[in-house]
Amino acid sequence: MSNNNGNKIELPGSIVVRDLAQKIEKSPIDLIKKLMSNGVMATINQSVDFDTAAIVVAEYGYEAIPEVVDEVQVETGEVPLWRQMIADEDESKLKPRPPVVTILGHVDHGKTSLLDAIRQTNVAGGEAGGITQHIGAYQVEMKGRLITFLDTPGHAAFTQMRARGAQGADIVILVVAADDGVMPQTKEAIAHAKAARVPLVVAMNKVDKANANPERVKQQLAEQELVPDEWGGNTMVIPVSAKQKQGIDDLLEGVLLVADNMDIRANPQGKVIGTVIEAELDKSRGVIATLLVQNGTLSSGDVVVAGTAHGKLRALSDYRGNSIKKAGPSTPVAVMGLSDVPSAGDLFQVVDSEKEARVIVGERADAAKTQAQARKKVSLEDLFATVQAGEAKELTLIVKADVQGSLDPIISELNKLGEGEIAIKVLYSETGNITDNDIMLASASHAIVIGFNVQADVSARRLAEKEGVDIRLYEIIYRMTEDIEKALKGMLEPEVKEKVIGRAQVLAVFTASKFGKVAGCKVTDGELRRNAKARLYRGTDIVYEGDMGSLRHEKDDVKEVRQGFECGVGFKNFKDIQVGDQLVCYVLEES
């Protein structure tokens, strides 16, 4: 960092123009002008070498000296909020803590049975009868060391926690069935782990089955950039059988090996901070929350703030149901005493008094309202502005296409576009319609969702609106690449967006001379307009999309029909209307 001794300033071998301006407390624009007068053309995000920087700072009266760099291991990528909050802990007081592990994978590949097998063979203390209460997390013992497992239901919970700024897990165990291989949900789980930059250990389950094909699974994993260590990669692939309880110890040893290569430490005497794993309202005992302590030591009687809930902790119990007084780093603990039910993924902290807790909760509630009103949407239109301001270094995309044959050329085109000043990172790509899972991943990773010849589910559209996620749908590849190229250069035209103005249900189908078939509808929400666009759904499938042909109330042609009224709707060149179809009416607006 900068170390001004009189007029001396330490500079690294190369430095970004924006950072150099900060060091000498000058405007980046002034600095760019100075560089230009010295014959160097550079933008705010470009790096200049030491010699160039030294010449420019000399003009401001500084003498540049080479920076002495200590060799430190820097954590790259996304740093969870809780880690940022304890960044100022005294290095000398940090002690190793048990790694926190969560299990992800495709449905039916054996996540639950693997968790049960680990529980039964290695639960710390190994008492008869196993666990007496379910608190969403527990600890196992391996070679005298503890490992904390989060019993969360799959990657939806994992993403939800990330979207709230938490990162419950240090390591992810990815369960892949040896007889089934890498499936769509496996790919989703890999994308979630990569987005969180959490290391993966693969548990290849069901190796005892006659039709198991481990080599095929390894090949599929390698295609997902998880190259097995025996093939020269850095992903541990450990064969297990949850049913036969084989390979469980090998898997836990693998987790400890990965943990040894990570900086998993905390200060037991430091600031008490952690994550809410789950919480519920018990009729007899009030709010019961499972907290995972990530730094410091939580004690009975502490005043805790978790999200917008707060309270003085009355009772602490471990995963076995035993009453305890204290819980150190990486310890899951069930607590009573909170005023309200916090959300999974909320960060908690210990404060000095209940008065301070109430003030913090009040501020958070106000901030949440403001944030909801002014949620910053990551959109292609805003991209160039963030690049200019030096905030964006890469564009993160989630890509969905109708068939694999479309997906491959799209990814290849996007990779070509990402070779310029701003990188393009395709976080997840798959065939099929855009779903809630895609939106949650986009929200947690500040990504844009691109769809090619696919639709976004109704619930996904609503969630995208709520979470501030930009969905772009295309039918021609070059239109998509053109839009992204324009966004990268700041030349994108205002986007035409659809706004849903009404919904209706088809109650009957009539024959009419002009249109052939007419839908007898009841408007259930908003209004239908004659000059608007219409989309007809049968279940989740879209059977018609286009203009409304006619709109009649009783026997009169009308311009609009409001909620609660019945009407007749005709569609141009479309007769396949059925009772029960859902009609969505929308208009196109420039945003």
Tokens of 545: 């999309």
Q: Tell me the mean pLDDT in the region 25-34.
A: 83
Q: Are residues 106 and 255 in the same domain?
A: yes
Tell me if 171 is assigned to some domain.
yes
Tokens of 124: 């710390």
SS3 571: strand
| The pLDDT value given to residue 95 | 87
- Using the structure block, give the residue that is written with the tokens 């949407």: 377
pLDDT at position 344 over 60: yes
| The pLDDT value given to residue 44 | 76
Let me know: does 304 contact 313? Beta carbons within 8 Å: yes
Rounded-to-10 torsion of CA 475, 481, 483, 484:
130
Q: Are residues 120 and 256 in the same domain?
A: yes
Task: Name the H helices within 131-213.
Answer: 154-163, 184-196
Distances (CA, A) of 104 to 115, 126, 172, 226, 520: 11, 25, 7, 15, 47
In angstroms, the first-to-last Cα distance of the chain is 42
Let me know: does 501 contact 587? Beta carbons within 8 Å: yes
| pLDDT > 90 fraction of the chain, expressed in percent and rounded | 11
Residues 97 and 100: their CA atoms lie apart, in Å, by 9
| The pLDDT value given to residue 506 | 94
In the DSSP assignment, the letter for residue 278 is E
SS3 565: coil
Let me know: does 142 contact 253? Beta carbons within 8 Å: yes
| The pLDDT value given to residue 74 | 31
pLDDT band at 70; cut points 50, 70, 90: very low
β-partners of residue 316 are 324, 335
Q: Are residues 470 and 400 in the same domain?
A: yes
| The pLDDT value given to residue 1 | 42
Let me know: does 451 contact 428? Beta carbons within 8 Å: no
Tell me if 554 is assigned to some domain.
yes
- Of the three residues 318, 342, 373, the one that is the final residue of a domain is 373
Tell me if 83 is assigned to some domain.
no
Q: Are residues 112 and 238 in the same domain?
A: yes
pLDDT at position 367 over 60: yes
CA torsion through residues 54, 59, 60, 62, sign = positive
Q: Are residues 124 and 239 in the same domain?
A: yes
- Residue range of the domain that includes 19: 8-66
pLDDT band at 373; cut points 50, 70, 90: very low
Between residues 589 and 316, which one has the greater pLDDT?
316
Q: Tell me the mean pLDDT in the region 470-492.
A: 78
pLDDT tens, 265-298?
A: 888 888 888 888 888 887 778 888 888 898 888 9
Q: Are residues 253 and 302 in the same domain?
A: no
Residues 470 and 447: their CA atoms lie apart, in Å, by 8
- Of the three residues 215, 242, 263, the one that is the final residue of a domain is 263
Between residues 14 and 372, which one has the greater pLDDT?
14
pLDDT band at 3; cut points 50, 70, 90: very low
Residues 424 and 480: their CA atoms lie apart, in Å, by 14
| The pLDDT value given to residue 546 | 86
Mean pLDDT is lowest, of 220-229, 377-386, 449-458, for: 377-386
Q: Are residues 209 and 114 in the same domain?
A: yes
Between residues 104 and 449, which one has the greater pLDDT?
449
Q: Are residues 422 and 359 in the same domain?
A: no
pLDDT at position 403 over 70: yes
Mean pLDDT is lowest, of 6-10, 157-161, 341-345, for: 157-161
* Total count of domains within the chain: 5
Let me know: does 314 contact 300? Beta carbons within 8 Å: yes
Tokens of 45: 């995000």
Q: Tell me the mean pLDDT in the region 373-398.
A: 61
Tell me if 78 is assigned to some domain.
no
Q: Tell me the mean pLDDT in the region 538-559.
A: 86
- Of the three residues 263, 290, 310, the one that is the final residue of a domain is 263
Average pLDDT, the chain: 79
| The pLDDT value given to residue 126 | 43
CATH number of the domain enclosing 466: 3.40.50.10050
Q: Tell me the mean pLDDT in the region 151-179.
A: 69
Tell me if 173 is assigned to some domain.
yes
pLDDT tens, 239-272?
A: 998 888 888 889 999 999 998 888 788 888 888 8
Residues 585 and 569: their CA atoms lie apart, in Å, by 11
CATH number of the domain enclosing 160: 3.40.50.300
Tell me if 93 is assigned to some domain.
no
Between residues 450 and 128, which one has the greater pLDDT?
450
Tell me if 88 is assigned to some domain.
no
pLDDT tens, 491-540?
A: 455 566 778 899 999 999 988 766 678 899 999 999 999 888 898 998 87
- Cα 334 to the chain's mean position, in Å? 26
Please compute Rg for the chain using Cα positions: 28
Between residues 260 and 41, which one has the greater pLDDT?
260
pLDDT tens, 76-134?
A: 345 555 566 666 677 788 888 999 888 888 767 777 788 888 877 655 444 433 333 45
pLDDT band at 166; cut points 50, 70, 90: low
β-strands 145-150, 100-105: how paired?
parallel
Q: Are residues 259 and 318 in the same domain?
A: no
Let me know: does 306 contact 293? Beta carbons within 8 Å: no
Q: Are residues 523 and 445 in the same domain?
A: no
Tell me if 242 is assigned to some domain.
yes
Q: Are residues 247 and 358 in the same domain?
A: no
Q: Which of 226-235, 236-245, 474-483 has the highest average model confidence (pLDDT)?
A: 236-245
Q: Are residues 400 and 510 in the same domain?
A: no
| The pLDDT value given to residue 82 | 58
CATH number of the domain enclosing 311: 2.40.30.10
Residues 448 and 480: their CA atoms lie apart, in Å, by 12
Buried-state track 298-318, b at ≥16 Cβ within 10 A, e below 16: bebebbbbbbbbbbebeebbb
pLDDT tens, 206-227?
A: 888 888 888 989 988 888 888 8
Distances (CA, A) of 316 to 92, 302, 311, 326: 29, 10, 13, 8
